[in-house]
């Protein structure tokens, strides 16, 4: 099963439709609307690697 955060992130970026999002997660469109608004399901920001100074 796919990580819910990744599916919701793909929907937010316009990669998949709300219907596709619902189908992947096995939920109805009404439930998806609530999940999309849930800040706990937001994908964590990508970490940036620090480069050594002068390198």
Q: What is d(CA 37, CA 55) in angstroms, rounded to the nearest whole number?
A: 42
Q: Mean pLDDT throughout 7-20?
A: 91
Question: Confidence class of residue 5 from pLDDT cuts 50, 70 and 90?
Answer: confident
Q: Which residues contact residue 9 at a Cβ distance below 8 angstroms, ignoring those fewer than 6 apart?
A: 42, 43
pTM equals 0.62
**Domain spans of the chain?**
4-41
Q: Mean pLDDT throughout 17-46?
A: 81
Question: Cα torsion at 32, 14, 37, 47 (round to 10°)?
Answer: 120
- Radius of gyration in angstroms for the set of CA atoms belonging to the chain, rounded to a whole number: 15
């Amino acid at each position: 099963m796919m990580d819910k955060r990744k599916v919701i992130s793909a929907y937010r970026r316009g990669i998949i439709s709300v219907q596709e999002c619902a189908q992947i997660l096995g939920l109805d469109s009404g439930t998806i609307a609530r999940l999309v608004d849930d800040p706990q399901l937001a994908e964590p920001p990508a970490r940036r690697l620090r480069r050594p100074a002068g390198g």
